[in-house]
Amino acid sequence: MEWNLVLRLFVAGMLGAIIGLDREYRAKEAGFRTHFLVSLGSALFMVISQYGFGAVLDAQGANYDGARVAAQIVSGIGFLGAGTIIFHKQFIRGLTTAAGMWATAGIGMAVGGGMYFIGVAATILVLIGLEVLTLAFGKVGLSSVAITFYTSDKSNLEKVVEEIHRKKYHLVQYSSAEEAMGGIVLYKAEIIMKIRGHREQNGLFVFIQQLDNISQLKVE
């Protein structure tokens, strides 16, 4: 019995790590170690909920609902997932990672409950959702991008804005400020826009890069 339970923990951890490797490849905050631990921990709690209280309950003749422990996994994983969601400069990052961790917890619970086939099938479906759907429909939706740069030539600010309107990019926010650095006046521009695919992002990036007197060009 003990080795069978250890096998459940091992399989759950490996399935979680497989999903985590995809996240690691995409340089997300929660990588294969986090997903490994989420899935392994969920399986461990499932095993405990099924077999951990048997001796006590037999001695006392009490009734026990193991589903209550499993329900707390679903609630508890929400706090961990919330820690991966970041809101910065009108960007919301980490929603997919948080959802992946939530699904990984479910995979761990399935394997911990002895449902190996369901756990493996769920892992395959999660990977399809993360990779195949991204490749198939990645260009359909819009994604946010932030571009920041400094210039000593104020006319460059107008040229960039004109290029955005000429290419009909979806401008969300634009701001500029004058800053003094080492006795030199520089103009800082921050642009947030919605793009469809990397081609639009690269197009504006190259345009700004080719302007004179541009420094500290950064894309997020």
Residue with tokens 């993360």: 130
CATH class of 143-219: alpha beta
Residue with tokens 């210039």: 151
Token digits for 146?
């932030």
Domain ranges of the chain: 2-137, 143-219
- List the beta bridge partners of residue 151: 187, 214
In this prediction, residue 130 carries a pLDDT of: 77
Of 49-63, 79-93, 145-159, the range with the highest mean pLDDT is 145-159
Token digits for 35?
């997903």
Q: What's the pLDDT tens digit per position in 26-51?
A: 666 667 777 887 888 888 888 877 77
Q: CA 16 to CA 38: how far, in whole Å?
A: 7
